[in-house]
Structure 1
Amino acid sequence: ILCKDCDNVKRLIKEYGKSHVSYGIFTEADLVAKDIELDKLNSKSKIYWQGEKIGDLCLKVAGYHNILNALAAIAVALELGISFTEIAKIFETFQGVHRRMEVVASTDNNILIIDDYAHHPTEIKATLSALRSSWQNRRIIAVFQPHRYSRTKLLAEKFGKAFFDADCVIINDIYSANESPIFGISGGTIFKEIKKTNHRQIKYLPSKDNILSYLYEIVQPGDIIITIGAGDIWTVGQELAKQLKKTKGL
């Protein structure tokens, strides 16, 4: 089961030489999603198998990346002899998974707080792209906690280019995951890389308490706040929701 939207996979297919099923959105493949409609945390698309429409797919998770994930699962299920009608019914009940664009809180004045486990540049770009595609006119505030010193050092430049779809970016210090510190590597490393892209608004706040205070100060009706990372940054979103409810009656 191979994704033809991935350039690396497309190169491998030429050398593979074995039976396979391909899927994609933006390239010709055996299994394709077309006429995609993104609506907040949902999507609708028409599914085609070898050029013929086999049905409609409704997902309760956002973004093109989740449609691709669904196509991979559909391809496996079809190979196992499960009908698309049955597959589509199952997807209608799928609510997503813990810490993957999970809604933490939604307030009366349209502030949305979301949490996501993304800790790699590719994941971050996909997550923020999904939010921007669904909410083109709302301010997106991304709060990122890097995970591991080694990953930060290795992928710093790519992290710097991953936040284009966020209007405001707040960088926390690194969640070590039991790694020893690496001299000269911190959340500030990614902050500096993002600054090189001339991002419109970015702030480095090593303390989660300071992040919470800053968010409380700047949040406005209609904002989307997303905490991103594999560590404990999710606690910031939960605490912010509690503060907003307690002090502003939201």
Structure 2
Amino acid sequence: MSTAANTRPLATDPLAPAALARLDAVQRGLRGGPAPPGLSVAVVVADLDPAAFLGGAADFALAIPEVLRDGWYRAFTRTVFLAGRPASVAPRHAYRHATPTADLAWYGPAPRRELAPLSRLLRAFRGPAPVEVPAGPLTVPVTGRPTGRVVDVSLATAGVSTGAYLVHVHHLISEAVLRGLVRPGDTLSVAHADTLDVTDFPAVLDPARAASVQTRITPGDTDPDRLRLYGVLTPTRDEGGR
């Protein structure tokens, strides 16, 4: 499912139950009750370092004020990625969060009209296709006092452009943070693979476990009539293996 789609996937697709569970969770919101006005986020990208991006996305989402969280969550964590140098943009548009190297900066959550001047100033970030990621696993600490909790993150990259990678990863990490699955001081253990096979995640994709896992499922780029698993996040263990 796309981030803003209200269409429901075909029940015959093996990924449909997990996709529907995520759709239903977003529609219920973080606290239930009437939906607040939808909010958006913009990210200015000078260069993509996957580890910095993953950590920055988590740190940004953790710092969002409580009053803004549900509006962004119920808008399917809607985000645009813009090409630019945050240090050059900051004098005219102050960001909410930036990575230590200032290669990435986050704006919002805010109504779309408030982010429109930034979108008019900068073009969409593209990057190489397919996305370039490290061959080995990544260990990404989330800012905060270390908790000892390890959050496993699996990401699919075959046929995924840099722009699509930004979208998939940002939705996965942001929603997990807003739902409390990633906390300050956790460690993200990140593995990239060409594809994520549904048969490798039978328990994780069980809708009965939807409250304790985060998935990124959306129509594939090459076959939009079929769902593809782009990301799985499971806060499963501490560093002692328990």
Q: Given the two structures, how large is their TM-score scaled by the length of structure 1?
A: 0.26
Report the TM-score when normalising by structure 2: 0.26
| Greater relative CO (CA pairs within 8 A, separation 6+) | 2
Higher Cα Rg, which structure = 1
Q: Please identify which structure carries the higher helix content.
A: 1
